[in-house]
Structure 1
């Protein structure tokens, strides 16, 4: 759904791993801020969730009292929407299993070393349990939307073909090269690896064993690269290569690089098969934006909702 998994993980990373604000008078923490039927959110929970989802720590530190109040009110409305949708999850008997939550957490954590991941929580004074609960809620909201709205917003094959006919130029990026990459910390080691490549050693195996680049464990596979994506010092030698050839050792501020051209795609009209996912995502996003409001309004009318914004 709308590249739903990717989108959701991308949103969670942005929203959850930062946050700074004053949690206020905790003696008021038991006051109910939001009630949706029998579900309640206390002020203490609101403050903790606000910490875990603050969009920019630096911005919030410089906000005046009025601006902070507006930020907290916007967050309050977001939580109201979430609680309404979570209430709908009760009706649909939907939940997030421990396995689903674990997979989502590992998807986020794999982009950070364990020390740096843990440091984020220490630096922002975020409760790991609060962060995990926010993640679970976001996943559940996504699951409900997928269940309720997917059929309404999913395009048919004829609609996909029509959209492709009108928009294919959006994905015509010119010549592309699928490249492999080895990054090494020293010139001497890079020259040694280059000699092994010239002697016929396998590029992917050498990348896995010696490269310090992020894609090392994928055999140095960078996927398809278009012009303008890499620094000029790497782009020109790469695009000048014949298939299967490798560049000389190239020095940059990051270290010493060796690139290999694996496949080439000439500029021209992309095949519809290469664009289907992007087309489907685009149509679904447009339709979801058009239908979400009325769907949520329908849910609002089903449940008893109480909001106590005065205490935040």
Structure 2
């Protein structure tokens, strides 16, 4: 029985208990096939309205999805079948969105793709670092650039959907609030500022300054090592259970501060600014949240119906026999 190696991606297993890290390659192979490799790779795994997902592209995506597993996990039939199903579903959805956008004249323009690319590349210090990042992921610049188009297209679809959504009335929001009132209660809350340092000795020195009457916000600006230092240590409102170090401040009254509290992030000194008691929230306090929740639910429902309608009208097929014949092998380097 012959087999053709369709694609090969190098991986590193997560065998943390082993003293030696062993590199392996993930290889997607096709059993029982004959013919030239290029002809085999051009075979269609799935087709949506005459747009095909080739075996070559599918195999690359399958290898990429299985990268997250170690050698044993990458060969698990359950993981492989799940990955196959996800790839087919993603292809169906993204292709229908692209075809719909093209029909509506909403496809991404070159200017939009260039602008999106510029936003991403600004996150890197220079072009060399950016391209090295792509190379480390096994992605070419042209592949990465092409991947921006479906992102822009999907964004345009969602913008179009938002325009179709009816805004909820006050009566609808109030009705939603009454039906879900148990979800709109507030735990006890405190508004706090904090000073965080990395050394216990420094924290003790800071605490002594506060005990001598130094202004908390000024001390935070001078000594704190956390990002809130520029706002005088202001964290804002927190509720009991958010973070263990903050919980210790709930015994303090407004204006008081804690002693030194150790956490995985360093040594904290926390000042309480205001308090809110626990209890049920009023409609006016959560009206904006409810508005956003209803809009999100309506957008999701609209999108689900839209996608189902697109699928019903589409000509979709997949090559089950070809899918079944794909196997994954791991080869130690």
Query: TM-score, normalised on structure 1?
Result: 0.69
Per the alignment, residue 268 of structure 1 pairs with 279
SS of residue matched to 1:76? helix
Aligned partner of 2:185 among 142, 160, 172: 172
Return 5+ residue gaps in structure 1 as ranges: 1-19, 110-114
Aligned partner of 1:90 among 99, 102, 116: 102
The total of aligned residue pairs comes to 280
SS of residue matched to 1:262? strand
After superposition, give the CA deviation of every residue in 1:213-243 in whole Å (9 maximum; x if it has no partner).
Answer: 4655665443321112221x5412x112222
After superposition, give the CA deviation of every residue in 1:107-160 in whole Å (9 maximum; x if it has no partner).
Answer: 9x9xxxxx9xx98994xx453755675565345324313413553364333211
In 2, Cα distance between equivalents of 1:120 and 1:299: 34
CA contact (8 A) 1:73 1:309 kept: no
- Structure number with bigger Rg: 2
Per the alignment, residue 89 of structure 2 pairs with 77
1:283 aligns with 2:297: no
| Residues 140-159 of structure 1 mapped to structure 2, 5 A cutoff | 140-148=153-161, 151-152=164-165, 154-159=167-172
| Residues 95-174 of structure 1 mapped to structure 2, 5 A cutoff | 95=108, 97-100=113-116, 122=136, 125=137, 127=139, 134=147, 137-138=150-151, 140-148=153-161, 151-152=164-165, 154-174=167-187
Query: TM-score, normalised on structure 2?
Result: 0.65
Return 5+ residue gaps in structure 2 as ranges: 1-23, 30-36, 324-333
Per the alignment, residue 247 of structure 1 pairs with 258
Shift in alpha-carbon separation, 1:138–1:61, aligned structure 2, 3 A: farther
Per the alignment, residue 257 of structure 1 pairs with 268
SS of residue matched to 1:24? strand
After superposition, give the CA deviation of every residue in 1:77-106 in whole Å (9 maximum; x if it has no partner).
Answer: 122112111222223314355445665788
Larger relative helix fraction: 1
Aligned partner of 2:240 among 211, 227, 240: 227
Larger relative strand fraction: 2
Give 1:281 deviation, angstroms.
Answer: 3.8
CA contact (8 A) 1:182 1:259 kept: yes
Per the alignment, residue 299 of structure 1 pairs with 310
Shift in alpha-carbon separation, 1:206–1:104, aligned structure 2, 3 A: farther
1:189 aligns with 2:189: no
CA contact (8 A) 1:36 1:87 kept: no
In 1, Cα distance between equivalents of 2:133 and 2:66: 17
SS of residue matched to 2:253? coil
In 2, Cα distance between equivalents of 1:206 and 1:160: 45
Give 1:21 deviation, angstroms.
Answer: 9.1
In 1, Cα distance between equivalents of 2:155 and 2:161: 10
Runs of 4+ in 1 over 6 A off after TM superposition: 104-107, 118-121
In 1, Cα distance between equivalents of 2:160 and 2:90: 20
1:65 aligns with 2:69: no
In 1, Cα distance between equivalents of 2:219 and 2:113: 40
After superposition, give the CA deviation of every residue in 1:181-224 in whole Å (9 maximum; x if it has no partner).
Answer: 22211122112333444543452x65456434465566544332
Q: Which is worse superposed, 36-45 or 63-72?
A: 36-45
Shift in alpha-carbon separation, 1:79–1:105, aligned structure 2, 3 A: farther
